[in-house]
Structure 1
């Protein structure tokens, strides 16, 4: 990789790292607005929608145009939007401000993810390198998620759940975003704009036409179901740790970092394994292992009783076993994204990434709301047992996804 490609990769990794902290803080913020503002679980679950629906809307409306705007410019614009709302969070301690903050985070990430995924094609020469880089980038994203749980946990008062001290974390995040903006500004990018003259309406319609391809439809279903599972678990795991496993609020957030760490390890490892192991076999093994972990770990949560000793030495076994699902969940999303993107010309990567982001965002919102409603109406164990349904559906969708990719490979021979 040339020096300029390395600089681009570093700027992409840093951007994804910073936004990983912000995006995946929604589960932490849900726990804190319940404690600090007295919000119900059903009302707090809407924060996921304030984050994900703008991601889908921005990707839908602007993905086809981003090569013209410039990938770097789009990412810098996203950083500027989030910097403004991060500064407002500690100054205006209210639930509506939390909604506004995630609204702007969603808008910004819609710009950033499309730009970032499209930029991977500029610095990778083969499908194998593309899959490897995408897993490394997604692994870095999970390192950011992992860091976020500990950064937020350091500002949460475990002895006073209603304390607003957690809002001071946004000053730290503001500094990170500002540094990220400067590094993007100093990194030169190139953009693959189609040489043929086409109108913006034509570019937009080309993106919509992609969704009608049978392989793309199967892929969209697979991506939607995967994100439904990941966001449902990731968003509500802090509340599960707090209310079901009876961990203090700060420990509940920090214990969720095990899930993020497993996702990070799984994705970084998959960056190397994908070069040697057949992706279809690997993903099927991962899905079966996910189902087994759900069935094993949920009964362990039933053994908990309130009033026990707090502290890591006395933490329940379920707090350590269930998050291991992240190890097996990790390779699925980057793998199917890479396989889909590398089956298309690079000029279509921006439009395809727009579809990926749209349906990932819709899946995330759906998963969080379903999990939150079931959690509120029944209990945490029942909410997480529901993940077995989409796990089974992904097994089916991957079968048809593989058939579609094999047809493309045979037609190219």
Structure 2
């Protein structure tokens, strides 16, 4: 890892921490608004207001970043997040949540492309890139843990009616991160207008290995979102625990995910990436199998399930950085931002589609099938991943 990258490691991690908190507060918003008589059907569509702008804006974000530079674009995104987070506590109408998540999603599209671009432009080695990406992505998991812990405390305290004021802390953290970036000199590619080359550059990504890779990314985020936004509501509605415990139990999923990505960053040099990835998937299938066994042979709402679901995070969390780094290292540095935009697009689509389908399970009182549904998706992911590794072995 270069010395420059070590110097910018903290603001990069803080950036992902901030975006993690504003994106993954969805589970808290769903939990709170469902108690305010907002239907699960409407709450399921709320995720789309976050994810679809991410998908739509990503390609345009490449041109925006190319014109003003990575550092300025990232600071701009953080400023907007800070302002929006400071406004949210004072607004009560439901439509504003849609607008708020749309703006946050747009800023995340810009921020993620910038962060991936900075990492790719400083590292060429596949395993070093995986290590760095795992460390930065690990902070995303900490964001989920922190946001669930802070808001869980607020919701369960005597100040529960002021739970939205937790977003003020995110505004302050955004300000600190902006200050750190403003003091750094970051090596960037030359500012260019990539608009005229966009279609030709995109056509260069049309090949079987990249198409299957994007299907894998879609599926990974599909599975992740099945946990991140909806696990607290599953715990509360199906396992009959209170809101605070539902959020804290879910935050342990994020904690295990953080541990999984941190360990991956430290041991990845010892294993082939593809084998490490496959072993993680097999472990997820095993844990889900145990959960289903408990449901069908013991009790559908057994409290043991509370403690098994978080373990999945340990094995699920390494998949995204491992598969991304394995492909990104093969892409030309000047095309990194554009390729990252495709990753962002398919990630956001996976998140949106997942939330809509999960909302139907909740709306139709089919929560007993929640683990079985996830096992089915993981099995599909496993099959697609094997096809991807077979293709990439031939291609690269």
**TM-score if structure 1 supplies the norm length?**
0.90
Aligned residues: 394
| Cα distance, 1:50 vs structure 2 | 1.1
Tell whether the 8 Å contact from 2:70 to 2:114 is kept in structure 1 after alignment.
yes
Q: Give the aligned partner of residue 342 of structure 1.
A: 329
Correspondences of 1:67-146 after superposition (within 5 Å) = 67-146=66-145
* Cα deviation digits, residues 67-122 of structure 1 (max 9, x gap): 33211111111112112221221111222222222111101101000110111012
Q: Name the CA distance, whole Å, in 2 between partners of 1:10 and 1:67.
A: 24
RMSD across aligned C-alpha pairs, in angstroms? 2.1
After the TM superposition, which segments of 4 or more aligned residues of structure 1 sit over 6 Å from their partners?
none
Q: 1:249 aligns with which of 240, 243, 247?
A: 243
Q: Give the aligned partner of residue 27 of structure 2.
A: 27
Q: Give the aligned partner of residue 263 of structure 2.
A: 269
Q: Name the CA distance, whole Å, in 2 between partners of 1:43 and 1:284.
A: 36
Distance 1:269 1:138, change over 3 A: same
Correspondences of 1:163-202 after superposition (within 5 Å) = 164-193=161-190, 200-202=194-196
Further displaced range: 7-16 or 349-358: 7-16
Tell whether the 8 Å contact from 1:89 to 1:170 is kept in structure 2 after alignment.
yes
Gaps of 5+ in 1: 306-314
Gaps of 5+ in 2: none
Q: Give the aligned partner of residue 16 of structure 2.
A: 16
Correspondences of 1:21-60 after superposition (within 5 Å) = 21-35=21-35, 37-60=36-59
Q: Name the CA distance, whole Å, in 1 between partners of 2:367 and 2:178.
A: 39
Tell whether the 8 Å contact from 1:75 to 1:115 is kept in structure 2 after alignment.
yes
* Cα deviation digits, residues 204-250 of structure 1 (max 9, x gap): 21442144121110100000011001001211001011111111112
| Cα distance, 1:300 vs structure 2 | 4.1
Correspondences of 1:199-278 after superposition (within 5 Å) = 200-278=194-272
Q: Name the CA distance, whole Å, in 2 between partners of 1:317 and 1:88.
A: 40
**TM-score if structure 2 supplies the norm length?**
0.94
Q: Name the CA distance, whole Å, in 1 between partners of 2:380 and 2:239.
A: 29
Further displaced range: 395-404 or 128-137: 395-404
SS at match of 1:256: helix
* Cα deviation digits, residues 258-288 of structure 1 (max 9, x gap): 1101111111111123211122222222212
Q: Give the aligned partner of residue 312 of structure 1.
A: none
Distance 1:45 1:171, change over 3 A: same
| Cα distance, 1:65 vs structure 2 | 4.5
Tell whether the 8 Å contact from 2:63 to 2:193 is kept in structure 1 after alignment.
no
Does the alignment pair 1:384 with 2:371? Answer: yes
Tell whether the 8 Å contact from 2:66 to 2:193 is kept in structure 1 after alignment.
no
Does the alignment pair 1:351 with 2:338? Answer: yes
